[in-house]
Amino acid sequence: MAVNIDWFDENHVIFMQFQEFITIDDLVEASYNGHAMSILGDPPVHILVDARKAKTFPMNAKQMSERLPEHPAPDRVGWVLVVTPDNVLMRIITALFTHFEIMRGKFRLFTDMPSALEFLREQDSRLNQPPIP
């Protein structure tokens, strides 16, 4: 799988780190794993996505909308923060994926991890201060 998923801040922030080559199957598996973790966590559970290493990403929006599962409990999800390279096409595709994934959630794109973490800590005072990946 081209993504590693773990808790960034136990029960509060899910951390998804994508590798260079991402397939639709990787996104589907990441979605299911992220859903399971967010149901186990203490809401709101935020999702921090690190896609800085990604070089390829599925481009078929129709296929993504058909294959990505709806979140079983979208009210448990807080912010979804995505850190991507400063690449316009990658940012558009990432925004589409995130839209399909959470539909009505709060979403924000960043080009660097420190800015994303600073924003998240401003939004949720429960968060610990884990080191920046």
The answer to whether 23 touches 58, Cβ cutoff 8 Å, is: yes
The whole-number pLDDT of residue 93 equals 66
Give pLDDT tens digits for 59-79: 777 787 787 777 778 888 899
The answer to whether 28 touches 67, Cβ cutoff 8 Å, is: yes
To the question of pTM greater than 0.75 for the whole model, the response is yes
Domain 3-123 architecture: 3-Layer(aba) Sandwich (3.40)
Give pLDDT tens digits for 66-114: 877 777 788 888 998 989 877 766 667 666 666 655 555 688 889 999 9
Residue 17 neighbours by CB under 8 Å, 6+ apart: 3, 4, 5, 50, 53, 133
The whole-number pLDDT of residue 102 equals 56
Q: Where are the domains of the chain?
A: 3-123
The single-letter DSSP state of residue 71 is P
